[in-house]
Structure formats: structure tokens, C-alpha cells
Amino acid sequence: MLWIGFVVLGALIAAAVAAGKHRTVKAIDVAGMNFLSPVVRLCYGEEPEKQLKQIAQFIVAPMLAVAAFIALWFAVSDQVQTKSGKLPNPAETWRSAQSILQFHNRESDKQQAFNLDGTKRESELARVEARLNEIKPLEQEANTAVAEAKLAAKSRTEERVAPLQKEYDSLAAQLKSRQADRTAELETAASKAAAGDKATKDAYVAMVREHRKLTDMERERLRDLKSEISTLRGQKDPGLMQALTQQTAIAEERQYLGKMRDQLTDDNRYTKVAESEATLAEDKQNLYAADAAGLYKAAVKVVRDEDRIATIEESGYAKPATLPYQVARSVLCVFVGFFIGSAIAIPLGVLCGLSKTFMAAMTPFIAIFKPVSPIVWLPVALIVVGGFIPDPDKHWLTQWMWNLPWLGEYKINPAFIASAITVALCSLWATLVNTAFGVASVDKDHINVARVLRLGFWDRLFKIVLPSSLPLVFAGLRISLGVGWMVLIAAELLSSSEGLGKFVWDQFNNGASDSFAKMMVVVFVVGAIGLLLDRLMIVFQRLVSFDGAPTAI
């Protein structure tokens, strides 16, 4: 990972040399990444001691904190055991990220193979066949290695369990004997207590209670030993896990190559079209040679063949939703919700800022609806959207959106629309309040100048009020976008909208060995996208700021 940092610093230094110190520092300031300014200033020899101190404070210290976090993560991960498995460490999380990316790349390869034709298809098919031949001995070696690793792991486990099992068997025999002795004593005491008075019988009850108490304690000791034995048996052997990982990787590659071969041969679009065209040509010959009795059936076959060819030519590879696709769909959804919320919040905020009466009228609604959780808004949005779009496959709006060149890839459905509406309803309040405050805080001197110039309402609004309030409006938009991104993941999880939330929910439910690690990957993906969205809004906020005040660390 260090090389990435060196590449970034190298690119920054090159940009500083090409653009000049002041332009580079200004660009860094606009981007809200002021921690990079000391690097640029140091390149130009400006107060080296001061710049080095700031580099240590704003770059080195955070890097050390990240390194300490990773080290702590490594240390803690082995200690945290859950029903879903051990907490994945950074290395396992990184491997899961690579696995997710590999799955995406392989599905993209299958999609391309489905559409290949001519020499490209033949060359790709030859490459796939060659790799399949190479992988056969590797698969046999992996299977042998797994069988040997299982035997070795079983031997090591039995070696660790043997002392505990011996102790368990010995203790179980001892406790069984003690319990039998106490039971015999109680039976003997019962015959004596039967003829005794109440005090004798109460004493006998105490003896029974003590016997049951001792029996429970003895059983608890046995349960503890058995639990310890089960824990040892359930521990994953590192050697076996490594062998299984290798076997799984080879099996997945073989499955991928087999599917690639299918997409390049029998399932290939152009192969299907060619086969259907050959069938059509044969059926046309039968049509032309048919008599009156068989002409109808021959014509039906020709029509079916032509319809089949048209369907195949329009068909595409049924690519499953991969994480990059789900990321793009989530980002699209949050921006749709963000723009809907902004379109509502900014006009209302302007009216609130211009009129104290309107602000007073809106205050109850703000106070009531602002604290409402997205978990409450989402079912309401789903019901409303479902009422307007009961069947997405037949509704004109969804059909129109599905046929659009770029938007159609994301299959906008009621769950997507409801999630976007939930984002809007939960995120618009910061923009509304900041807009109202910005409009209400416009310098009175500016308003007086507008009156002197006899500017009309709309001229005052668009030339004085809105430009003056833009910094606060964008501060609200920045907060709203951050809130919307947090809300979206929960909304997608509950609505099963095909985004990051659904990815997390699917991993939570499928129970695979790497599901926990993949959920950890999504934690960092969500955080990284949230950071990028925040940086984006910082850029816009800085571009409309007049005082040059910093907007972020």
C-alpha cells in the first residue's frame, strides 16, 4: 500500500511543478485537502522546518494511526469468535475484496464471450480450452492435498483433544459413582425419615436439595469440559484451510472456464442465431415444397423461427448483479433522492428565510417530520409507490426508463424509487434549515442597495439573496448528501433494492465462510464512497464561498 502513497505524492509534486505553487495550493484548498499544502510548499523551499512539522502532524500522524488500527485489528480478530465465524483480519478482508472483484471480472468476461463472433470467438475458445487442459492436473493435486490435509488436521485435533477426553471420561465415571452413592444414602435415609417427625422430614428435604445441587455442579463441570472439547474440534486447522482455499479457487476457475466455453459455443448469441437461421432455411424449403394440407403448419414453423431469431438477436447475457454494479446503482439512487430532497428543501428554505410568517407555519412540520426514522418512511414510500406502479413490467414509466440508453441498465423499479424517496424525506431538512438561515442572514446593506436601485422581487432574489446565501445552502447540501448516503444503505437493505444494502443482507443470510469478510469489505466501500461524496460537496462549497474560510480538516 505504501507505493500508492508514493505515487500520489509523485503526481502531486509533478502537478506542482507544472502548474506552479499558487495554482496547486489553490486547487488543494478548493478540494478541501489542505493537508497536502505543506508538501507543495516544501517542494518550493518555503519554510522547510514549518512544512516538515505540518507534514508530520497532518500526514505522518494519520498514517501511523492507520497502521496502529490495522495492527490492533490483526490482534483483536483472532480473539473475537461469533456464530458467523471469526472476525476477519485485514488480510482476509483484502482477499475477500479481491474475490469480489474477480467475480465481477469473470462475469464481465462471460458477457463479452456471449457477444463474440468470428476469429475473436475462436481465439478466445482456444485459450479457454488450453487453460482447462492445464487445470486438470492442478485440480487433482489440490484434491490430493485436501485429503492429506484432512488426515493431518484430524490427527492434530485428536492429539489435542485426547487429554481432555480422557479427563472427561474419568470425571464422568467418578461423578456417576458419587451420584449412585448419594442416591443410596438418600434411599436409606428415606426409610428412617418416613417414621420420623416433621423436623426429620425437613432435614431429609435438605439432604435431597444438597444432592441435587451437587449433581447440577457436577453436570456443569462435565458440560464445561465437553464445551472445551467441542471448541477444539471446531477450530479451523490452518493447513487444511489453506488446502481448501486452493481447492476452491481451482474449482471456481474450472467452473468459470466451463461457463466461458458454453458462452463461446452452444450458448453464444451468434452460434444460436446461425443454428436458428439454418433451421429457418430448412423450414422455408419445406414451406415452398408444401401442399395445401401442410402449408399452414410449415408457415407456422417459419414464423416461429423468425421470431426466435429476432429474440436471440435482442437478447443479452443474464449477468448477475456484482458489487461494482450495486455501487453504481446505490450512488445513482442517493443522487436521485438528494436532488428530489433539494428540489423541495431549497424553495421552502428560501420562503422560510424571506418570511417569518411562513417560517412559523413550517416549524411544526419540521419539528414533527425531521426526527422520523428511515425505517418508518420506507414502508410508507413502498406502499405509495406500489399504488402508482403495481406492475413494473407493464407500467409505462418503468418501461420507458428501462428503454433509455444508460439508465435502462439499472432497472429502475418501485424499490429503487421508494429508497430514493426515503433518502429525500430524511435528508432534506439540513438543506431546508441552512437555506432559510442563509437567506435570513443576507447583509441588510445589500438589501438596502437593491431598494435604492429599485430592483424587483425576482431581481433581488436571484441577484442579491441567493448568491449571498449560497455558502450556507451548500453547507446544508453537504450535510444532506452525507445523511442521504447513510439512510440509503438501510433503505436498500429493507426494500431489497439491488444496491449495497442488498449485498450486505444477502451476505448476512447466505452463511458462506467468507460472508463476514465480504461485509467488512462493504464497510470500507461505503466509507470510501461517503468520503468521496463529501469531498465533492466541499469542492462546490468552496467554489461559492466568499470569505475563504476552510470547510474541512
The predicted-structure confidence for 96-132, as pLDDT tens digits, reads as follows: 999 999 999 999 999 999 988 889 999 999 999 999 9
CA dist., res. 510 & res. 116, Å (int): 34
Do residues 373 and 457 share a domain? yes
Same domain, 399 and 520: yes
Q: What is the four-CA torsion angle of 260, 265, 268, 271, rounded to 10 degrees?
A: 170
Q: If DSSP codes are grouped into helix, strand and coil, which group holds residue 154? A: helix
Do 488 and 441 lie in one domain? The reply is: yes
Interval 128-187: pLDDT, tens: 999 999 999 999 999 999 999 999 999 999 898 899 889 889 988 988 898 888 888 888
Confidence tier at 12 by pLDDT (50, 70, 90): low
CATH assignment at residue 514? 1.10.3720.10
Q: Note whether 183 and 310 are same-domain residues.
A: no
Give mean pLDDT, residues 3-23. 59
- Residue 4 is predicted with a pLDDT of 54
Predicted local distance difference test score (pLDDT) of residue 553: 42
| Dist. CA 144–CA 201, nearest whole Å | 69
Residues 291 and 426 reside in one and the same domain: no
Pairwise CA distance, residues 467 & 473, whole Å: 10
Is the pLDDT at 397 greater than 70? The verdict is yes
- The pTM of the full predicted model, rounded to 2 decimals, is 0.81
| 112 within domain boundaries | no
* Rounded Cα–Cα distance for residues 423 and 483 (Å): 8
Could you tell me which of 419, 421, 414 has the C-alpha nearest to residue 390? Answer: 414
Q: How many CA atoms lie within 13 A of 501 on its CB side?
A: 22
Task: Give me the chain's average pLDDT, please.
Answer: 87
Residue among 343, 319, 339 nearest 498 (CA): 319
Position 552 scores a pLDDT of 43
CB-based contacts of 43: which residues, under 8 Å, 6+ apart? 13, 16, 17, 21
Q: Is the dihedral of CA 442, 448, 451, 453 positive or negative?
A: negative
User: Which pLDDT value is given to residue 1?
Assistant: 45
> Please, is 504 exposed, middle or buried when counting C-beta atoms within 10 Å of its C-beta (0-12, 13-18, 19+)?
buried
Number of compact structural domains in the chain: 4
DSSP tag of 462: I
Within-domain flag for 143:
yes
Domain end: 264, 287, 306, which one?
264
- Beta-bridge mates of residue 85: 82
Backbone angles phi, psi at 102, to 5 degrees: -65, -40
pLDDT band at residue 551, thresholds of 50, 70 and 90?
Answer: very low
* Residue 176: inside a domain: yes
Same domain, 130 and 226: yes
At 28, the pLDDT band (50, 70, 90 cuts) reads confident
Asked if 353 and 438 count as a contact pair (C-beta separation under 8 A), the reply is yes
Residue 437 domain flag: yes
Domain that holds residue 466: 323-544
Instruction: Please indicate, yes or no, whether residues 285 and 328 belong to a single structural domain of this protein.
Output: no
What SS3 state is found at 392?
coil
108 lies in some domain:
no
Whether the per-residue pLDDT at 8 is higher than 60: the answer is no
On the question of pLDDT at 475 being above 80, the answer is yes
User: Could you tell me if 149 and 240 are in contact, meaning their C-beta atoms sit under 8 angstroms apart?
Assistant: yes
**151, 237: one domain:** yes
Give residues with Cβ within 8 angstroms of 300, minimum separation 6.
Answer: none
Asked if residue 220 and residue 150 are part of one domain, the reply reads yes
Ranges 60-69, 81-90, 451-460, most confident: 60-69
Which of 534, 110, 90, 86 shows the shortest CA–CA distance to 322? Answer: 110
Please tell me the predicted confidence (pLDDT) of residue 515: 86
- Looking at residue 188, its amino acid is T
Any domain includes 100: no
Q: Is 84 within a domain?
A: no
pLDDT value of residue 343:
95
Average the pLDDT over 71-89 and give the result: 81
pLDDT of residue 5: 54
Q: What's the pLDDT at 480?
A: 95
- 96 domain-assigned: no
* 251 and 274 co-located in one domain: no
Give the Cβ contact number of residue 498 at 10 Å. Answer: 20
Q: What pLDDT is recorded for position 278?
A: 92
Same domain as 214, residue 353: no
How far, in Å, CA of 479 to CA of 472, rounded? 11
- Do 214 and 273 sit in the same domain of this protein? no
Q: What is the mean pLDDT of residues 498-511?
A: 89
Last residue of a domain, one of 314, 346, 378: 314
Identify which of 103, 91, 155 has the alpha carbon closest to the alpha carbon of residue 319.
Answer: 103
Residue with cell 466541499: 538
**Domain-ending residue, one of 280, 314, 348:** 314
Q: Indicate the pLDDT class of residue 546, thresholds 50, 70 and 90.
A: low
pLDDT given for residue 84 in this prediction: 63
The one-letter amino acid at 430: A
